Amino acid sequence: MGGIEFLKGHGTQNDFVLLPDPDGRLELTEARVAALCDRQRGLGADGVLRVVRSAALDVESEGEWFMDYRNADGSIAEMCGNGVRVFVRHLVDSGLVSEREFVIGTRAGDRPVRMHADGSVTVQMGPAAITGTSVTVVAGKPFSGVAVNVGNPHLVSVVDDDVDVLDLRDQPDFDSDVFPEGVNLEFINLLGDNAVKMRVHERGVGETRSCGTGTVAAVAAALHLAGTDTGEATVDIPGGRVVVEIRRGGSTLTGPAEIVARGELDETWWAGLG
């Protein structure tokens, strides 16, 4: 009996299971995604990237390939900046695309991408829109923050103490009236010299080593608080470093992407998850 192909990869240690499914034949249920991402009963990951042709899902996109992204709890998400880079690395390495610059489809819209010779990837992330302010509460302590939409919702809070001291093991509280679909919560230190340090608690996942859209939101919020809407900064996250540029009407994210394993899922295990 043949198995179900998978790959494992990460972008600044934000890790993913990739499922090549060009014709959209896999039944990717919430239970299966949650099991795959569980670090005891599955492979372990922050999310699942299904590699599927846009035409197979009847999605309107200029890109041949669509990144069907699911959070670790099985919920559907609009966009993932680190996931895009890993997705691109797989497409290029496997020969599914022959160019170094192309477009992929996401639920947040088309994303132009470019893979560099060193294996890093630049993603056109679209606009980072400041949408207001709100408050989150970590271990009983409130933090005000700037709300940013990068195709998915974020709340960015500048922290005076080192972000390393925050306890993000539990879900921080947030205003569900402001974020009815949940929110990614970024906590940042402003380091000066166009540099930011960040930790993140992602909706549907928990704390992760990195969040691509979160790094874009963090820089957009930092610039906004400094009284400008354009600029570039490095962002240090627990999993490494990325570079974010915010422009009027758009943004880019550049960082590494690694494929670390390939294999097959047992079909009996997969079928038993339903």
Q: Which residues are tagged catalytic? A: 80, 211
Specify the residue for token string 């179900």.
4
Q: What span, in angstroms and rounded, lies between the C-alpha atoms of 242 and 45?
A: 20
Report helix angle 81-93 to 212-225, nearest 10: 140
**CB distance 32 to 24 below 8 Å:** no
C-alpha count within 13 angstroms, C-beta hemisphere, residue 99: 9
Q: What span, in angstroms and rounded, lies between the C-alpha atoms of 237 and 247?
A: 22
Tokens of 190: 């402003």
